[in-house]
Structure 1
Amino acid sequence: MVEMTQEDRASRETLVQWLRKNSPQVSVGLLAADAMAYGAAIKSLEEAGVALLHFDVMDGVFCPLMTAGAGLVKAADTTMLKDVHLMVSDPLTQIPAHLLAGADIVHVHAEGMTHLHRALVALDVPVAPSDKNGNPSGRKVIRSVALNPATPVQYLKPVLGKLEMVTFVAVDPGWGGGGPDKALASKIADLRAMAQEQNVDPLIAIDGGINARTYPVARDMGAHIIVSGSAVFAAGSSIASNLEKLSGL
């Protein structure tokens, strides 16, 4: 387990470099934990060496489920990076609250955006002050655009230079099942070709259907971040044991 230092957190560029160098990283979905014991779950994840805590923010409009939003992100007292996935109908209106809540990474869905470029501009701001004295870090958030299974990567061509990460969602948001497959691998290949043409190199995240069987599939696709929740919080074993079964952490 590679520890993330303050130097690694100093800027968006150093953080992207750390994620690229120390990939893949598991971003653990807090939604899968016992909602009455989020604090204990966060402590256990930190003790296990997890670097990213994933928040699934759903509004019941973009997808069927509804979950907690910026209030939970702000309340989560953690040294882990706050990795916020906005599965909402209009991310632009929710971005400010989640930035103030201390989000370090924000994923917006291409399918939920009327003004995708404007959302990426709105995200091009420093992380909110998070220490006890309110001192700003100066580090900007990592911007990601998430793509549903049926959304082609060509949608990102005009804005690829304004984001640091592309998130491939391997299951329709709000539904179960799914997982990384040949179609997703083809989309990643398309992204890499398009990125090479534009001389950019975004991080790749894979989210959806990740368990001990599919984790190696996502890893071999070159994912820098792999999101998993249920497999980490599976009953019968400790979080540390589940993480070891999942990824060898």
Structure 2
Amino acid sequence: MAHLARDLDLIACADLIHVDVMDGHFVPNLSYGTAIVKACKGATDIPLDVHLMVSNPDDTIDWYIDAGADLLTVHYEASTHLHRTIAHIKERGCKAGVVLNPATPVFVLEDIIEDVDMVLLMSVNPGFGGQAFIPRTIEKLRQLTALCASHGVAPLIEVDGGVGIANAEGIAAAGATVLVAGSAVFGAKDPAAAVEAIRSAAELGRSRIGA
């Protein structure tokens, strides 16, 4: 944590900085809070994609918007009044997204898909880094892409968990447009090169759509 600004500089080629907020209740782990979001905002010009893995998102979303989040995602499973929550985030001038855990089906988004800027599919059970990608996510991506097409909308489609160079092409080919990579980037000798390699693989996958 003492080298946060340095490590952000290492991935200056990234499109987004994904910040995982964990509360120890919704997920069995604790992680970053508003102080870290503020520190990131002051250390980089890259937009902050803040993922709230918390059991009380309505109580905390304003904290993270005030701290500098550019895009804020909340879990379907934790949101009692999701439409109101998404509307509030957007009213605050922040992009809004919804997250689905691995066991949550895509069809629950039927009545909110037209209101969100992003859908994040968790490809691991949230709470800890370094987990293996859940293969079923590929089919969920196809289902989500079809749902978006049926509503005539094109939110960002993000995948988080077990993403790396080896599977980025297939994930993107199934419909993902944003890939979150933690261990695959910061576990590499050259994080910037890892970002570029993942992006190149994903672009190849996107080029396969409709081919």
TM-score interval for Structure 1 and Structure 2 normalised by the shorter chain = 0.7 to 0.9
Q: Indicate the residue corresponding to 2:133 in structure 1.
A: 179
**C-alpha RMSD over aligned residues:** 1.7
Does structure 1 retain, via aligned residues, the 8 Å contact 2:142–2:175? Answer: no
Where is the helix percentage greater, Structure 1 or Structure 2? 2
Q: Indicate the residue corresponding to 1:4 in structure 2.
A: none
Q: Indicate the residue corresponding to 2:207 in structure 1.
A: none
* Runs of at least 5 residues in structure 2 that lack an aligned partner in the other structure: 202-211
Q: Are the structure 2 counterparts of residues 197 and 245 from structure 1 closer, same or farther at C-alpha, using a change threshold of 3 Å? A: closer
Pair 1:142-2:108 in alignment: no
What residue identity is the alignment partner of 1:55? V
Pair 1:193-2:146 in alignment: yes
* Runs of at least 5 residues in structure 1 that lack an aligned partner in the other structure: 1-34, 127-139
- Structure with the greater relative contact order (CA < 8 A, sep ≥ 6): 1 or 2? 1
Pair 1:58-2:30 in alignment: no
**Matched pairs, number:** 198
Identity of aligned residues (%): 36
Pair 1:83-2:49 in alignment: yes
Could you tell me how far 1:103 is from its partner in structure 2?
0.7
Q: Are the structure 2 counterparts of residues 201 and 248 from structure 1 closer, same or farther at C-alpha, using a change threshold of 3 Å? A: closer
Q: Indicate the residue corresponding to 2:182 in structure 1.
A: 229
Q: What secondary structure does 1:205 align onto? A: strand
Q: Which consecutive aligned stretches of 4+ in structure 1 deviate over 3 angstroms post-superposition?
A: 244-249
Q: Indicate the residue corresponding to 2:11 in structure 1.
A: 45
Q: Which whole-Å CA distance do the structure 1 matches of 2:101 and 2:180 have between them?
A: 15
Q: Which whole-Å CA distance do the structure 2 matches of 1:145 and 1:211 have between them?
A: 23
User: Which aligned pairs between 1:107-118 and structure 2 lie closer than 5 A?
Assistant: 107-118=73-84
Could you tell me how far 1:203 is from its partner in structure 2?
1.7
Q: Are the structure 2 counterparts of residues 124 and 243 from structure 1 closer, same or farther at C-alpha, using a change threshold of 3 Å? A: closer
Q: Which whole-Å CA distance do the structure 2 matches of 1:198 and 1:220 have between them?
A: 20
Does structure 2 retain, via aligned residues, the 8 Å contact 1:234–1:242? Answer: no
Q: What secondary structure does 1:36 align onto? A: coil
Which segment drifts farther, 220-229 or 188-197?
188-197
